[in-house]
A and B are shown apart, each in its own frame.
Chain A
Amino acid sequence: MPVTAMREDRGFIEINAQECKGCGLCVEACVQKVLHLSPHLNHYGYHPAEYDGRGCNGCGVCFYACPEPGAIRVFKAVA
């Protein structure tokens, strides 16, 4: 289920936990610092990245930091 965007947020992201390898590059890249690695393991044994659930501005930096083609989807408020 997509994380529900908070009213004040200008964007949100979806992370496909099964595609993520837990490299942490998105966590490092995130300007808003709203990503973290999950304490849980995914199907393949990685700690996948997770969105904190609030604070995303939809900038897309995490998408380009991520080496997986489709692990992250970025949504942004229509102006």
Chain B
Amino acid sequence: MPKQLIKGNDALVKGAVLAGCRAFYGYPITPANEIAEAAAYYIPLAGGTFLQAESEVAAINMVYGAASAGIRAMTASSGPGISLMSEGISYIAGAELPCVVVNVMRGGPGLGNIAPEQSDYFQAVKGGGHGNYRCLVLAPATAQEMCDLTRLAFDLADKYRNPVFILADGYTGQMMEPVDFLTVDAHAQVTPEWAVDGTAETRKNLITSLYIHPDELEAHVRKLEAKYKRASEVETRWENYRTEDADVVFLGYGVVARILKSVVEMLRGRGIRAGLLRPITLFPFPSGEIRRLAKQAALFYVVEMSTGQMVEDVRLAVEGARPVEFYSRVGGNVPSAEEIFEKVLKTMEARAANSVEEVLSHA
């Protein structure tokens, strides 16, 4: 099949349909509307349900219902809406239901604005809702990944019976790029054995996040904990870009990672051995790969469109072995490659009064 030039948001929906998603419940919010609009068109044609709910609170609970019945279900929103969904996501994690939640991030806090930010990293990666749970978090950077990671998200959601986030940004959603849909095989949904679908076979099943006795809840929470540990061992994904000999390793995800690739090229043009580690999964986080690179690199440089969220995980992974510098733009401003390039040069100069090369020679 030839490639199709398509917006990331549309690629995500087509990927979801090919992944077997047959239930989409959402509530309008910019900049995630196009996902709901495409879902409203395609999912009913594929034999599924699209419903515009009365709120994000209702939407995520409708997802809870569809997931309980064993249907691949999703929703899409942006920061303020995800905040409202956080209750339901906690229940979904607690009840061990699979679902996919897309956050096309916008500026916050509060109403913020509709421009791209990456300030919902904590919300997605560290919790958002109450209790001992984690969400798996995937961060696409291309339209192709909007499709492919959505398929992966549904598989991971089923595999771990857990909500999976697609943490996207407005650029990745709005951008058109060629997408090869052949990489996605259509998924034939089979009712999972734990589901409650209104048949004699599943009549004995129970979906709940309630464990009234402390020992039972502890056992349940330990089970979730073990699940997240297992996911951390086998599901971590990242992309290395020219890190094999890198003295300076950049870290960024989503559209920022794309910009950082340009920065890497610009620095290489100046004779500085730069590389990029792009986390594809934000939880689990590629801490092991960061630790490995910390043995070779002299400097880590994290760029985010937040005041510093992922950088905390990078610092935890580096464990003080190497300096971790940070640069950010927020409010909907997207850092340009040129701007980062200049900042990096200045940072490197500031770190050593003499020369960049001298800093690097300390590696």
A–B: direct contact at CB < 8 Å = no
**Interface, chain A (partner B; CB < 8 A):** none
